[in-house]
Structure 1
């Protein structure tokens, strides 16, 4: 009887533990791009599917997957890679409660910090089998196998440490101390490398070993980052213990103080052994001459939007869009289209180049709409439940939204084709739904379209702007 009781009690406790675990698991993000062989939680990846805390993502030899996180960041996994979302809890009201932990088990991944991570950098950890990575508000790329990890920075900065002492894979947040090293985007051509058993990362200049050259290059449509730009607002650590190593291509150079006294630096000694593994470097003494801060390249300023839209006439109590009219009058935009009270145009100099395969989901970034019941005045309306999905392989799209106003909810669902110039057109002209729009951006990261739906009782017109 007692054994039966203990068995029942153990089963109840196990069940409660599983329920508690499920209650704490949450959505980390959604799949916004999938191509090739990709699985999530051992299931084939499906576009727009949710990714949960605890899920493992795997890509095959031709697989790429982009996860847009709940705080508008990105996790990109390239071919032959495996990663895990250990934790992804964002608390915008109290950032101290935010907890984000990612693991790259093998392959190549890119991590772009979202708003929540940037507000709580001290609670972000990116682990590999041999190293812990923290961020300074960052966009970085990691390559790893079971013995070696290499990190390059696109924007912002990282702090990296090998697993030793108080820095273990079970921890959260960056490992910071005498053995850690920092790398910032302004240090062009450099990377940090950590090998198993190595406490302090090596700072190397060796393009041959960069993450991008590990057989998993980036697709041209990866999310756009601020390449080469370091955030001037961040606290760049110029302590010689962390970022003062002098470097040469593929070789580690160390500097030591003159044993004769005076604190002068001995000329750098370069390890010239052919085909030798990079040696473990002992951190230089604290008492050294601080290095000159690196000269950062200028931040690239984004040009004008490729696609713009606005009202060209007053309607539903609202005026024409004077700002858009001024831009159109400047002569840089062409190919204007009109639908209802709206017009749309794209840059004259645009050159639409899209992937030949894969799919992508866009997120609504802006909208304007009016609704008019038959026999009544037009009223301002809202756009809800919007989605735009693109299949680059078949050059088709599906979009839907709901226009809400004057006590009505009018669904708008349109499927169509994408021309070689990136124009969105109806599949058939024999329909009460019309669309005029474009895909655009250097990596097809933006879209915009005008829409119109007519029936015997109501007409809706509007314009939408999308991003991914």
Structure 2
């Protein structure tokens, strides 16, 4: 009897040790549950817990490595495994399971270092990542996957690809989808040999169950073509200014000293690379060697080739809004975009803390939306909304921009935000001292 009791206790303790904390709830609305208890902000989510939402339920989980797992209404899912080894990423293993409904997965820091050990299962397929931020809708027989940033690989179960496995399944029947393939998704049905690439106009996960207006947005990407990045780096290496070369003294018939001119200041250009509301594009999508670009939706920012920008390490600075363009887009493809105005803008940087803060009013007709964002600044003058500010809802707008020494100091950023269940806004702003 004593031996049996010890064995039972040992099994119970082992189960508790195994069920490690995978994350915490950072937001919940409507009917949502963790295992058999109602979900609440700050509540832990352990490995193996069944997560469920009702007709009006939303559940946002921040994983232990700063990833994001979102469940929308009428969804069942599990964080099957979330074992993080920061010292040896090869020992990190993460496995998520979507049983039914719509869920979004944004890779955390550990997953980005151990993509080979990440698996997202549906009833019919295994999903691996190359990044990544993606959304899935599934029932018992059909799964559809769309990508917000990065790239996924999708494989139907069969042969060596089984639900019990870990990491991505890769083979002849696997298919990849990247964020660059806008307006498309991968669909896989039970028994189908390979996923099918198809239009996402009518059946994307976001259309089946739209995100709330406060769901953190995906980061805007810089150049999506790796070859462009490589070319940009190579070009920058070639334009570094050399020290002056002077001629020897006391030599007749020697030409004057030769100097290499300094590289010019990098300037900011901004605009639309596609037509919107019959307004033609006003900036070319292709850029010269050495320039860099950020683009999001119809908008793009270019920082021209020139002297490397170095972010100050001390002090603070405020900018004035000099130009902008924005539109509100409906999820209904039959409805046209609506122009919006950016007013009362503020943008400031605290270089001691390497942070920025911005806000403005987005005005369209009788509607006014208060847009705010805070985030971090890198040493080369890039600034982005921080994950923490989105997770904690301190920011309601996703921002991605660059700084320049142009005309004594300038900045520009792209922004996007979901305004409500049916509308999203995107825009671009330009600022100077």
Question: TM-score, normalised to structure 1's length?
Answer: 0.52
Q: How far off is 1:67 after superposition?
A: 0.8
Unmatched tracts of structure 1, length 5 or more: 235-294, 304-320, 337-343, 356-361, 367-385, 398-439, 445-468
Alignment match of 1:89 (pick from 79, 83, 87)? 83
Q: 1:327 matched to which residue of 2? A: 318
Take 1:389 and 1:133, find their aligned partners in 2: how far apart are those partners? 24
CA distance in 2, matches of 1:191, 1:147: 17
Matching of residue 103 in structure 1 with residue 94 in structure 2 = no
Distance 1:227 1:187 in 2: 14
Q: Closer, same or farther in 2 for the Cα pair 1:88/1:149, shift >3 Å?
A: same
| Cα distance change, pair 188–19 in 1 and its aligned pair in 2 (3 A) | same
1:255-266 to 2 correspondences below 5 Å: none
- Shift of residue 230 of structure 1? 7.5
Indicate conservation of the 8 Å contact 1:28/1:52, yes or no.
yes
Is the CA contact (8 Å cut-off) linking 2:59 and 2:71 kept in structure 1? yes
Name which of 51, 67, 74 aligns with 1:73: 67
- CA displacement at 1:443 relative to structure 2: 6.2
How far does the alpha carbon of each residue in 1:107-162 deviate from its partner, in whole angstroms, 9 at most, with x for none? 00000001110000000000001110000011001000001101011110001111
Structure 1 residues 147, 354: closer, same or farther in 2, change over 3 A? Answer: farther
Partner residue in 2 for 1:125:
119
Number of residue pairs aligned between Structure 1 and Structure 2: 279
Is the contact made by 1:147 and 1:195 (CA closer than 8 Å) also made in structure 2?
yes
CA contact (8 A) 2:212 2:418 kept: no
- 1:51 matched to 2:42? The reply is no
**What RMSD over aligned residues (CA atoms) do the two structures have, in Å?**
3.8
Cα separation, 1, equivalents of 2:107 and 2:93: 13
Query: Does the 8 Å contact 2:359/2:370 carry over to 1?
Result: no
In structure 2, the CA distance between the partners of 1:346 and 1:299, relative to structure 1 (3 Å rule), is closer
Conserved? CA contact 1:140–1:155, under 8 Å: yes
Is the Cα contact below 8 Å between 2:180 and 2:224 reproduced in 1? no
Residue in structure 1 matched with residue 170 of structure 2 by the alignment: 176
The alpha carbon displacement at 1:221 in A equals 1.5
Deviations 1:391-445 (A, max 9, x none): x9xxxx9xxxxxxxxxxxxxxxxxxxxxxxxxxxxxxxxxxxxxxxxxx99469x
Residue in 2 aligned with 1:60? 54
- Tell me the distance in 1 between the aligned counterparts of 2:45 and 2:314: 42
Q: Residues of 2 paired with 1:147 and 1:387: CA distance?
A: 37
Question: Structure 1 residue 198: deviation in Å?
Answer: 2.0
**C-alpha distance in 2 between matches for 1:218 and 1:14:** 44
1:446-457 matches, cutoff 5 A: none
Determine the structure 2 residue equivalent to 1:19: 13
Structure 2 residue ranges without an equivalent (≥5): 228-285, 287-292, 302-312, 323-343, 349-355, 378-387, 395-414, 420-433
Distance 1:149 1:141 in 2: 11
SS in 2 for 1:327: strand
How far has the Cα of 1:345 moved from its partner? 7.5
Superposed CA offset, 1:274-313 (max 9, x none): xxxxxxxxxxxxxxxxxxxxx9x9534999xxxxxxxxxx
Give the deviation of 1:30 after TM superposition.
Answer: 1.2
Find the residue that maps to 2:212 and give its secondary structure: coil
Structure 2 CA distance for partners of 1:32 and 1:302, relative to 1, 3 Å: farther
SS in structure 2 opposite 1:160?
strand
1:199 to 193, 196, 204: 193
CA radius of gyration, larger in: 1
The answer to whether the 8 Å contact 1:167/1:175 transfers is yes
Q: Give how far 1:353 is off.
A: 3.8
Asked if the contact 1:185/1:229 (under 8 Å) is kept, the reply is: no
